[in-house]
């Protein structure tokens, strides 16, 4: 439930500054409006998928820490091919106060970078996109959960 629509809208990021990272494709950062963890629905995510790799932007204000529920959810997501980028800062304003990356299949989050410029974040996303394009993930083919005999 959105309790304060004005405050909610003010916290949304305009991801268009990342369009140059995806030149030659129709890909854009999508708004992932809600991600349910054990502390409730967390809003204001950006999301991109490329050849089985997933990039999730988690945004928050400069002085707030990620909740334990968010960290547990993100820990599960990186195990299945997600890369989570934490952005602490004022929406659509650079430099970003803090940026931290939790790369796919890694047990720990990376070091925190401070005062990240727009060009710095764009450069990192461009590198991720090139790498994802060159290293597609092919998931194992198994029957979908609801197609399995034991579920029907």
Question: What are the pLDDT tens digits along the chain (152 aa)?
Answer: 567 778 777 778 889 999 999 988 999 998 665 554 444 444 557 889 999 899 999 888 888 888 888 888 889 989 988 999 999 999 999 999 999 999 988 888 989 999 999 999 999 999 999 999 999 987 666 666 667 777 66
The number of folded domains in the chain is 1
Number of H-type helices and E-type strands within the chain: 3, 8
Residue 111 within a domain: yes
d(CA 73, CA 61): 19
Within a domain: 149: no
| CB 48, CB 96: distance < 8 Å | no
Residue 92 lies in a domain: yes
> Which letter does DSSP use for residue 16 in this model?
G
What's the pTM value of the predicted model, to 2 decimals?
A: 0.81
The answer to whether the beta carbons of residues 97 and 79 sit under 8 Å apart is no
Helix H or strand E segment including 32: strand 30-32
Q: Residue 64 belongs to what domain range?
A: 5-137
* Helix/strand/coil for 20: helix
Residue 49 lies in a domain: yes
């Amino acid at each position: 439930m959105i309790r304060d629509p004005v405050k909610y809208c003010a916290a949304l990021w305009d991801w268009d500054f990342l369009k140059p990272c995806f030149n030659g494709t129709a890909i854009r950062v999508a708004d992932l409006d809600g991600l349910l963890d054990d502390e409730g629905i967390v809003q204001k995510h950006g999301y991109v998928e490329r050849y089985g790799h997933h990039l999730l932007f988690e945004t928050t204000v400069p002085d707030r820490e990620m909740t334990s529920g968010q960290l547990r959810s993100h820990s599960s997501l990186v195990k299945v091919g997600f890369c989570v980028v934490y952005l602490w800062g004022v929406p659509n304003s650079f430099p970003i106060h803090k940026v931290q990356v939790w790369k796919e299949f890694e047990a720990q989050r990376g070091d925190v970078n401070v005062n990240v410029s727009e060009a710095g974040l764009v450069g990192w996303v461009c590198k991720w996109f090139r790498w994802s394009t060159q290293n597609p993930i092919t998931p194992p083919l198994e029957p979908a959960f609801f197609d399995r005999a034991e579920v029907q």
